[in-house]
Amino acid sequence: MTDSTTALGTVSVNGFRALMSEFPSGIAIVTTTDDEGGPWGMTCSSLCSLSVSPPMLLVCLRAGSPTLAAIVRRGAFAVNLLHDGARSAAELFASGRPGRFDQVRWNNGQSGPHLLDAAHAIADCRVSRTEHAGSHVIVMGTVLDVTHQDGHVPLLYGRRRYSSWPE
């Protein structure tokens, strides 16, 4: 038995994290607002296309996340795809620190805050379904609107490092 397995033969948390670090992905900040209009958001790399017709995507969010709770209550969220100059925003929204929205420029989008200086593309989504899966909740959303900002390349994360899409 290696350090990456347990007595049951399943991979350890560290082994699984090491595996997933070998799969680079884009970085997004998923946002919404609560009943009083207060903004919520968190960094997310678990995002994928689900359907073209109707246009749907899914994000996987930590089950105990206050952002997830606000998304479920509101029934809507925005996915801000980060560009290569937005590493500080990715780290800020991954930190869980209070006052994150005081440190970035944003406006209210149709389904949640749009991060004006950090996102190169934004999807406004309506929650169509949620599904609990281990420590996370899969949130499936119907894409209602898409906003693009030209002149940026995507921010990537893999092997526990940030990078950008090659020109």
Write down the pLDDT at residue 8. Answer: 57
Percent of residues, the chain, with pLDDT higher than 70: 95
CA distances from 136 to 24, 68, 74, 114, 158 (A): 20, 10, 19, 24, 20
- On the question of pLDDT at 3 being above 70, the answer is no
Residue ranges of domains in the chain: 25-158
Q: Return the SS3 of 146.
A: strand
Asked if the 25-158 domain carries CATH number 2.30.110.10, the reply is yes
Mind listing the pLDDT tens digit for each residue in 136-154? 999 999 999 999 988 899 9
Q: Give the pLDDT score at 39.
A: 97
